[in-house]
Structure 1
């Protein structure tokens, strides 16, 4: 049966996540993956056979007997692309066996020596319906349960691996999301658990102009021959640099499911980072619990400035002290009573309206007006009884900023204010409470913690750094005993730090703390500390530059 050609345009290719692979990248992956004439090769979602044509050339180099076309296999959902792939493979001298099908409908064969290619990249917003269902079912065959936020490449990577025989090699071009997004945790764990060796090639320049997406080369070998304990990280400037000899850095994840963002660090920075984690730094979770703030259902309605409360006639007994919505006022070391009062005088919403019993007449009038305005119909209001009684959280010892242009800030809640879900609350363990309230905001201003925030947090729209409570739990901060040992020097440093932070000089503040803690207390070499500072600058610049790009 003759199949009519199917139109293909850049827009159509983008919709199905197809982006053509640069020649040098395809050749590099093929040369790594194919090592003998007997290797069986599969390119899923082969498009127009960028990898398969190179595979034919590579396999032909091993032929010593009578020449016969090397066989290569492929799967491609797009009819016209599959036909073109067959033509190009034949033209290269190969025997193409290319199936026109949805790759997720192809049963895992477990027969290939090498699976190579560039998986389709479709963001979760556009990856829905039957396609998403099939992808999740395919990943579940490997015991990988992907969340509804997963983009197409995640399941594709897992399904590709299941096509390998024991000892096989997986060479894929993967979005750099592999390193950092939460939904890829199960993919990261799968790769480390099922392959004996996992290597990554990272690029400092963007190599896919059409996709405008950072990528890494995933080179995994020894399928089902043991679990990888570490990985080798190679840094290349661009695709052309793959022809050069690349230096490797060895990196051992503490937990294979954790983010692999530390792999972006230079060898010097990674060495200093790992050394501090192993000795003098711990996670924020050792100091205490980090939790979400209060959800009102309508901040503008339930929060008030002192003047607004007075205008409504609300009695003070029905108002609770509140850190105003947002976090711009939490960029220093402490949120004090004086700062809270000053914000109220300037019109900030420093109160939460929250009667504990029967509302006063003034509050009831306010709630009656709220019902007329249908405030009570918002979901969070509708599901609670009475609708106007906001569920409270305990007063936190410290505040942690949630969305950040530079880095998350820890601030002592000296005012004893409640907080909304625009920031997080840190509740210190009893044995660390006094020390933590006094000094953790200062001690967390090291270059080590700045780098750590970039590795545990995630880039958000506009290049902001977002940190959720479970990510904050992994934020590296100095151990309590280290902070205690440097107590007097840190206390003496407070006025200088407060001044630097007041004028937005974060890096200047971090240098002061580095001198006291990292160099003075821990005896680190200045070159090691400089490597961490440079790493923070590079990671934050990478985040903000990615935030300015047009995303697909």
Structure 2
């Protein structure tokens, strides 16, 4: 978990300024409609204001720009004066408060909105800003989640200020395509806009950050009767698109609507043939939703993993043997698809924290060594942490049980299930999975590695900086899970392959067994596999023809 005290001032302010050439591209696009009133909700030092002038904005263009940071606002005012934007008006204030105050006054009056909203997690926002963010959602009648980020309510409030037929052009996080907390925004944009285009780069645009960014080009519907075309994604390798007219870029991608953009927008990255085949396979009698064949629960929540997850040496030093239980929770703990006593011993020999300390009651306080261990935890104020202080005693972790199958929360290439032969516990870095309706644990684990499920995971999951795929229980439950009755894969052989071969090789070979067992032709198997590879490479920011050489 990230804590606010560990973050940089730049990250807490969300201040990643837009390169001049990208700002000019977006400004050129909005100037195509000859706007008279332009809104910049987070102007920083005025990069977009300078770009407007650069692409030919008249000196009397009425610009309303907002900037919370007073120092940056002064820079923006100076820039406006230097470039001769006589009608530029810079407000040093909080945009959400300003926008809410202007409800019913300036709502729907701007011809264009430009900018780069701050990338700040809701948990890092001061409480007054959190309240304003929630109010934006509430006034628009949209579902709110505290997992949101500042850029989401910024765009919502900005769209509200835009007139029918107006244009919004912004640099936004690439996660707009797939994160759950942006679903309200995606739905709202889909309803409000006649056309949406995402310019999606293969490379990172911001130096010194792993945060991927895209360009959002949105045109608001003229009226409620106007037909919404949907979403188009324009993929670019670098900056070659800047040589193309913005109007041509906006018109280029085919718009997609319906189920492809009703939820996450990741489906729009696939071609129609792949989308249609995916939907066809979802209806196959031997393809199930994961929730129909298994139950998913989070792992054990300790509230202080470093205290409760320890090495053999710590157990011996403090006499904790009677409370120590085998556990796994990291990818390096599970190089294959089987976690057994042999793997557990190997992890212990490497000095990994393979023991989970379960104190179900006050018994450890009766012994000097274990009592001193708990008192050391209190000296580190562990008992004051939220998850610890709400239980009594604080060191008695609840909901302790193991399941026959585990699954790590995050994966590099593709997710996999782990047959838990050791009966080990897992923390909340992994999930506990029980099979349903008589499904064999061996079969579920062995069939899970196939390109249809892997593609489904790319469509349902999310990723952040570094390209690691993350799935939460509600997303896992939606995965497509083929379980062909005639297929019987050796779990031991698969375990060996996963440990020694490339992810690509294992996935292709196992897919031939699993998808072939559904009666799927080699040609269609390749379509599904290439769909997975396309999304996996995008997540890793590798070229489309690069081979995946990593192990699973």
Settle same-fold status: TM greater than 0.5. yes
- Is 1:74 the counterpart of 2:64? The answer is yes
User: Counterpart of 2:107?
Assistant: 110
Report how far residue 201 of structure 1 moved.
Answer: 1.9
1:501 to 467, 486, 498: 498
Larger Rg: 1
- My pick for the range that moved more, 455-464 or 343-352, is 343-352
Q: Tell me whether 193-202 or 334-343 shows the greater mean CA deviation.
A: 334-343
How far off is 1:527 after superposition? 4.3
CA distance in 1, matches of 2:217, 2:287: 32
Equivalence for 1:473: 477
| Counterparts of 1:423 and 1:79, CA distance in 2 | 48
**Relative to structure 1, is the Cα distance of residues 349 and 508 closer, same or farther in structure 2, using a 3 angstrom cutoff?**
same
Equivalent residue of 1:424, what SS?
A: strand
Q: Deviations over 1:323-355 (max 9, x none)?
A: 345343333222235545676688776665547
Identify which range, 41-50 or 494-503, moves more after superposition.
Answer: 41-50
User: 2: distance between equivalents of 1:38 and 1:115?
Assistant: 6
Q: Any gaps of 5 or more consecutive residues in structure 1?
A: 1-10, 61-68, 545-552
Q: 1:272 to 1:33 in 2, by over 3 A?
A: farther
The number of residue pairs the alignment matches comes to 506
Give the 3-state SS of the residue equivalent to 1:323 in structure 2. strand
| Aligned mate of 1:416, from 407, 417, 423 | 423
Residues of 1 paired with 2:494 and 2:235: CA distance?
Answer: 36
* CA deviation string 1:364-423 (max 9, x = no partner): 445433344345836445443344433234432310012333332211223333332232
Taking the TM superposition and a 5 Å limit, the aligned residue runs for 1:155-194 are 155-194=153-192
Distance 2:240 2:210 in 1: 18
Q: Could you tell me how far 1:358 is from its partner in structure 2? A: 8.2
> 1: distance between equivalents of 2:157 and 2:320?
61
- CA–CA separation in structure 1 for the residues paired with 2:484 and 2:288: 14
- Cα shift at 1:101: 4.3
| Alpha-carbon offset, residue 160 of structure 1 | 1.0
d(CA) in 1 for partners of 2:313, 2:15 = 54
Alignment of 1:364-443 (within 5 A): 364-375=367-378, 377=383, 379=385, 380-429=387-436, 431=437, 433-435=438-440, 437-443=441-447
Note if contact 1:321-1:418 (Cα within 8 Å) is conserved in structure 2.
Answer: yes
**Shift in Å at residue 158 of structure 1?**
1.1
Partner of 1:538: 537
Change (3 A) 1:26 1:391: closer
Give the match's secondary structure for 2:338.
Answer: coil
Flag the 1:216–1:355 CA change in 2: closer, same or farther, 3 A. Answer: closer
TM (norm. structure 1) is 0.75
Q: Could you tell me whether the CA contact under 8 Å between 1:201 and 1:233 is conserved in 2?
A: yes
Partner residue of 2:336 out of 332, 337, 345: 332
Aligned residues of 1:19 and 1:211 also touching (Cα < 8 A): no
Residue in 2 aligned with 1:220?
Answer: 218
Answer yes or no: is the 8 Å Cα contact 1:284–1:472 preserved in 2.
yes
**Using the alignment, how far apart are the partners of 1:44 and 1:355 within structure 2?**
52
1:248 corresponds to = 253
Deviations 1:158-180 (A, max 9, x none): 11111122343322222213223
In 1, the alpha carbon distance for the partners of 2:314 and 2:236 equals 58
Q: Could you say which residue in structure 1 is the equivalent of 2:299?
A: 293
Corresponding position: 1:518 with 2:515:
yes
The whole-number CA distance in structure 2 between the counterparts of 1:277 and 1:230 is: 23
Question: Cα gap change, 1:79/1:350 in structure 2, threshold over 3 Å: closer, same or farther?
Answer: closer
What secondary structure sits across from 2:140 in the alignment? coil
Alpha-carbon RMSD across the aligned residues, in angstroms, is 4.2
Cα separation, 2, equivalents of 1:12 and 1:420: 32
Contact 1:400/1:426 (8 A) holds in 2 = yes
Q: 2:148 touches 2:182 (CA, 8 Å); kept in 1?
A: yes
Q: Deviations over 1:221-254 (max 9, x none)?
A: 2346368584221222334324446552544474
CA distance in 1, matches of 2:376, 2:37: 67
Q: Distance in 2 between matches of 1:88 and 1:346?
A: 63
